[in-house]
Amino acid sequence: MLIRRTLKKVAIVGLFALLLVPGLESQAYAQHELAGSRDASSKQGMVVAVSPDGAAVGAKILKQGGNAVDAAIATAFALAVTHPSAGNIGGGGFMLIHPSDGGPPIFIDYREKAPLSSTRDMYIDGGSRKNHRYVGVPGTVRGLKLAHEIYGSLEWSKLVEPAVRLAKDGFSMHAGLAGSLNFEVKNSINDEFKRVYGKADGTQWKSGDRIVLKDLGATLDRIAKQGTKGFYQGETARLLVEEMKKGGGYVRQADLDKYRARVRTPIRFKYREYDVYSAPPPSSGGITLAQMMGISEQFDLKSKGRWSTETNHIMIEAMRRAYANRAMYLADADFVSIPKYLTTKSFAKYLSTTIDLKRATKSDSLGPRITEEPESKETTHFSVVDKNGMAVSNTYTLEAAYGSEVVVRGAGFILNNEMGDFNGKPGVTNRRGRIGTPANIVEPEKRMLSSMTPTIVGKNGKAYLVTGSPGGRTIINTVFCVTLNVLEFGMSAREAVDAPRMDHEWFPERVRFMGADKPRFATLVKELGAMGHNVQDTNGQGDANTIMIKDGIYIGAADYRYGAAAGVMGRQ
Ligand code: DON
């Protein structure tokens, strides 16, 4: 059964590669096919994304002469169709762009904003987040359009069109999507979600079934033809606001009118000879990553070895400290002032001196005050590099899997529930991981704090490693592990992505480790335990779809879920 499913998947991906990436070299194709699409290499360009169809759309745009930003935009729209749990037009995210001409990398912030009518205590009563009340003002369409205005080289409509076709003509789903939809449709309380994403005859989806998303296709068509007006004004906006009013949501036309994506300066820091670029506020990713990498750099981790107790103790202690500072200071920098020293080498050096090399630090001794004793995951990351070396690292999300599960009636797209990323209970910070510190409290038009960490490492002015991940607060630690695996331990892209990851978030006071149940790591887990770390097993952490550029070859490594690496493999 498993073998049959695997063969089917390989066959489906192979077919897409043949249809959509013409001129494929037979040898490269064979490699792609054998690897079940998780690995690809090319000199021409690369897209690594969670969905084979999404990756193939991006690869086709590269093949047609589009640059990495063109391909990223087309991939993002395609994923809004083929990866509905996180790919979106009703959510938000971040795009980091490393130009090929030696110019400075730029960051496009298209994070959702709090509606104008938001209040500080609007979520104080908690409860389910799968409803209209948790919807933030969507940013994706404005963000992708802004990226296009700055760097796009092909016509906008050409980049949206593949998504229109996928939605209107339908696409064949893989087993992962079928299982995920069956689960969500069964458990959702939203009728329109059930109607749009359920199977018309009421039976279960299975691998190879075709799903058509007619209303979504019509909305994407409006976006293709009218640009941002096709989403923030006219028919789409009218349907969105109607949906909000009907379900008790807060987003209104005035919110849509006021929403703007922003160009920001990425967080930049050195790690040995490398230049690391990552997400600035309203993401906590770059600042937290800079501290963890900065602390790590103070120790010669390479000589200690990747799986030594010392290395992993230092990594956990770096996580603990950086996440305590995250809880204390980080939020939307348009609203709060964030200390500049957080990303400096001297601060990292100071933090490293507070680590006891023999014992775990108690999290209570760090970060904000605990005020109370007694808190689903889905986002997606893709990486793109074009033939000239321009690189794009994009992470975007609906927040939870399928966001709020509110499908805009008549417009067919799913809305986010990103408002849950604010500190919903002001003043309540507890040992279970709830954070109620002042910085990230709801205010009208504020962007909620994110952990999304699209990252590009540069070497001699050229992009060298493009990575990022979903996974809520674990994201920053996933990026930390992958980046350190490459920069410090010299792993290949595949090794770095496959290596088991760790996660410590200051609170809860525990380390989740993907290798904890493996005999290979028994001694490590035992020794960390003896130092006072509470190490627990975890099934998985993140989905780091990564590209490494080595000696002019683009090496794509998709993660272990159903990611696909689609290389552009014409004659070289
Ligand atoms: O912006 C954030 O950090 C979260 N809303 C991301 C959610 C997420 O990664 C869930 N996915 N696995």
Look up residue 76 and give its DSSP letter. H
CB-ligand 1 contact for 452 (6 Å cutoff): yes
CA gap 444, 255 in Å, rounded = 10
To test the ligand 1 pocket, which listed residue (451, 474, 476, 505) has its Cβ within 8 A of the most ligand atoms? 451
To test the ligand 1 pocket, which listed residue (110, 180, 376, 397) has its Cβ within 8 A of the most ligand atoms? 397
Of 76, 92, 86, which Cα lies nearest the Cα of 332?
92
CA gap 391, 149 in Å, rounded = 17
CA gap 58, 205 in Å, rounded = 26
Written as tens digits, the pLDDT of the chain (572 aa) is 222 233 223 222 222 222 223 222 222 222 333 223 789 999 999 999 999 899 999 999 999 999 999 999 999 999 999 999 999 999 999 999 999 988 999 999 999 999 999 999 999 999 999 999 999 999 999 999 999 999 999 999 999 999 999 999 999 998 999 999 999 999 999 999 999 999 999 999 999 999 999 999 999 999 999 999 999 999 999 999 999 999 999 999 999 999 999 999 999 999 999 999 999 999 999 999 999 999 999 999 999 999 999 999 999 999 999 999 999 999 999 999 999 999 999 999 999 999 999 999 999 999 999 987 544 458 999 999 999 999 999 999 999 999 999 999 999 999 999 999 999 999 999 999 999 999 999 999 999 999 999 999 999 999 999 999 999 999 999 999 999 999 999 999 999 999 999 999 999 999 999 999 999 999 999 999 999 999 999 988 999 999 999 999 999 999 976 677 877 754 33
Coil/strand/helix, residue 283: strand
Contacts of 479 (CB under 8 A, 6+ apart): 278, 285, 289, 453, 455, 467, 468, 469, 544
For 81, how many CA atoms within 13 A lie in the half-sphere containing its CB? Answer: 34
Coil/strand/helix, residue 261: coil
**Which segments of 219-367 are extended strands (E)?**
262-264, 267-271, 274-278
Q: Which atom of ligand 1 is nearest to the CA of 452?
A: 3
To test the ligand 1 pocket, which listed residue (83, 446, 452, 503) has its Cβ within 8 A of the most ligand atoms? 452
pTM (two decimals): 0.93
Of 443, 527, 520, 498, which Cα lies nearest the Cα of 136?
443
CA gap 320, 314 in Å, rounded = 10
Q: Please tell me the predicted confidence (pLDDT) of residue 142.
A: 99
Burial class from Cβ neighbours inside 10 Å (0-12, 13-18, 19+) for residue 235 reads middle
CA of 376 to the centre of ligand 1 (A): 9
CA of 356 to the centre of ligand 1 (A): 32
What DSSP assignment string belongs to 375-439? ----EEEEEEE-TT--EEEEEEE-SSTTTT-EE-TTT--EEP-GGGGS-SSTT---TTS----GG
CA of residue 20 relative to chain centroid, distance: 25
CA gap 508, 397 in Å, rounded = 24
Q: Which atom of ligand 1 is nearest to the CA of 111?
A: 1
Strand partners, 465: 457, 548
Kindly report the length of the chain: 572
Q: Please tell me the predicted confidence (pLDDT) of residue 106.
A: 98
Q: Which domains does the chain have, with CATH numbers?
A: 264-374+453-558 (1.10.246.130)
**What's the token pair of residue 66?**
């589009």
CA of 396 to the centre of ligand 1 (A): 8
Look up residue 113 and give its DSSP letter. B
CB-ligand 1 contact for 378 (6 Å cutoff): yes
β-bridge pairing 535-537 and 511-513: parallel
For residue 168, which amino acid is it?
K
CA of residue 532 relative to chain centroid, distance: 32
CB-ligand 1 contact for 379 (6 Å cutoff): yes
Coil/strand/helix, residue 273: coil
Handedness of CA 60, 483, 511, 437 (dihedral sign): negative
Q: Which residue has the tokens 């805009």?
A: 408
CA gap 321, 331 in Å, rounded = 17
In the chain, how long is the greatest CA-to-CA distance?
63
**What's the token pair of residue 117?**
């009518």
CA of residue 33 relative to chain centroid, distance: 26
Contacts of 103 (CB under 8 A, 6+ apart): none
Of 370, 505, 367, which Cα lies nearest the Cα of 427?
370
Residue 557, phi then psi, degrees to nearest 5 = -130, 105
CB-ligand 1 contact for 421 (6 Å cutoff): yes
CA gap 401, 378 in Å, rounded = 4
Coil/strand/helix, residue 177: helix
CB 506 within 8 A of CB 320: yes
Q: Please tell me the predicted confidence (pLDDT) of residue 102.
A: 85
For residue 350, the tally of other CB atoms under 10 A from its CB is 14
CB-ligand 1 contact for 133 (6 Å cutoff): no
Question: Which region, left, alpha or beta, applies to residue 468 given φ > 0 means left and ψ of -120 to 50 means alpha?
Answer: left
Cis peptide before 374 (omega within 30 of 0): no
Q: Please tell me the predicted confidence (pLDDT) of residue 566.
A: 79
CA of 93 to the centre of ligand 1 (A): 10
Active site residue 379: yes
